[in-house]
Amino acid sequence: MAENQGNSSHQINQGTGRNFFPRLDFLSNSDIQNEVSEKRQALKMNLGSGSLTFSNSTNSTHSNSTSMSSCPPLPSSRPSLPLPLPKLPIRPRPAAQQEFLPDKARYYSREKLRMCQSMQSTGKLQLSPDTIYDFTSEDLQDLGEIGRGGFGTVNKMIHRISNTVMAVKRIRSTVDEREQKQLLMDLEVVMKSNECPCIVQFYGALFKEGDCWICMELMDTSLDKFYKFIYERLNERIPESILGKITVATVKALNYLKEKLKIIHRDVKPSNILLDRRGNIKLCDFGISGQLVDSIARTRDAGCRPYMAPERIDPQRARGYDVRSDVWSLGITLMEVATGYFPYPKWNSVFEQLYQVVQGDPPRLSPNENGNRFTMDFVNFVNTCLIKEETQRPKYNKLLEHPFIRKGEEAKIDVAAYVSGVLDSMANNGVTPFTTNQP
């Protein structure tokens, strides 16, 4: 049977003229074992000599039965070691990502630096009419926080070049570079108008990374910290003569802003009236916060809500407001400082404030208030400021003619001695003279 198959296969190959099955040489089991032994021995010898390459050896041809003669022979040579490893498919490697990320990070770092540089404005610092510096935030050394409010913080800083100590109010803003330049120009106009002795001197302003830095004259304390210590720690009250000097200075400052700079302050409150040991009483911010808010937020809610006039809180009064809204805030401030407490009860929501201020009766000061006695001139002045209908509320020119203002201007009071005495008591009681917790 096997012989017939071999013949038929041979006939087919001859008929076609082609060998479909090349000749194969099959080795016996003993021959294979001998060859494996020889290869192992050669491997050991090559390993010992430090070489991993084998020379090709020729397979010996062995005769077998005629029925096997038509099979193709095994390859005459075997591959040398080491065998090549199969190539794996290329995959995204973490190393490639790590090579990309630093470039991306450097790109964003450059962009951030470019933006910060554009936001880092160089401002004008005018310390006197004849002393003006170009400055950046790098020229200021921070000496610590001395105040905190709704718009930002106030820090005590020193201008290294001139060795001038100042208060720097940092207000967060979102204005773009074009608006920054316009705002700085407006502030420089205000800076050139430091003529009123009742206003904290404005030295200059600049932008840094979205913050507006306003550099101002450094005072010793604020009126809110001052009066609270007197009432709560000393169990005393501020003499009406001192209240008169505070009122005169504040009204003159507000009138100067309106007449000379065409500015409405919009944030009159005890924390924005400052005092020092020399007896100076000065209004701070002087409308700069108002300008910032106008430029940044375009809102009617600029300022501190508890001191806002009814026309500013009432959304129905679309006609806006004028300096008489600051007159209302002055009345609330004087009533609070004179009595030792805020004239309205604490509001739990904006709706309560809206109802009480807009719908309710305005606060009224009486000659005998919380154990205090006030003259009728002072009582009348405060209640005039707190007229609810703004059209009937006087402006500054009328207030300056009021008997209480006239009497306060003429009074000979040593304000410096009084303020210094209270500041010494604050220091002896471990109370900081600065405002750090006011809205």
Q: What whole-number distance in Å separates Cα of residue 172 and Cα of residue 211?
A: 5
Better-scored residue on pLDDT, 235 or 191? 235
Same domain, 291 and 405: yes
Q: What is the mean pLDDT of the chain?
A: 75
Highest mean pLDDT among 1-15, 43-57, 289-303, 362-376: 362-376
pLDDT at 287: 52
Please report, in range form, the residues annotated as the binding site for ATP: 169
Q: Which residues contact 371 (CB under 8 A, 6 or more apart)?
A: none
Q: Which stretch of 18-22, 57-61, 330-334 has the lowest confidence by average pLDDT?
A: 57-61
Q: What whole-number distance in Å separates Cα of residue 201 and Cα of residue 168?
A: 12
147 within a domain of the structure (yes/no): yes
**Which among 267, 276, 285, 326 is annotated as catalytic?**
267
| pTM, two decimal places | 0.67
pLDDT at 195: 83
Please report, in range form, the residues annotated as the binding site: 169
Same domain, 138 and 274: no
73 within a domain of the structure (yes/no): no
Binned at pLDDT 50, 70 and 90, residue 97 comes out as: very low
**Distance set, CA 336 to CA 1, 65, 251, 376 (Å):** 127, 125, 17, 17
Among residues 200, 218, 236, the one where a domain terminates is 218
Same domain, 189 and 254: no
Q: Which stretch of 7-16, 199-208, 324-333, 378-387 has the lowest confidence by average pLDDT?
A: 7-16
Same domain, 159 and 290: no
At 365 the three-state DSSP class reads coil
Structural domain count, the chain: 2
Same domain, 206 and 225: no
- Of 313, 435, 328, nearest to 388 by C-alpha is 328
Better-scored residue on pLDDT, 247 or 390? 247
- Of 339, 176, 116, nearest to 243 by C-alpha is 339
- Of 195, 250, 193, nearest to 223 by C-alpha is 250
Phi and psi for 147 in degrees, rounded to 5? -165, 155
Q: What is the per-residue pLDDT across 37-93, written as a single tens digit (0 to 9) for each?
A: 776 766 656 555 544 444 444 444 444 444 444 445 555 455 555 555 555 556 555
pLDDT at 90: 61
Better-scored residue on pLDDT, 86 or 340? 340
Same domain, 277 and 425: yes
What is the domain-level CATH number for residue 346?
1.10.510.10
- Of 25, 15, 54, 24, nearest to 38 by C-alpha is 54
110 within a domain of the structure (yes/no): no
Range of the domain at 363: 221-434
Residue 25 appears among annotated catalytic residues: no
DSSP 142: E
Same domain, 229 and 198: no
Q: What is the per-residue pLDDT across 373-399, written as a single tens digit (0 to 9) for each?
A: 999 999 999 999 999 988 899 999 999
pLDDT at residue 273 is higher than 90: yes
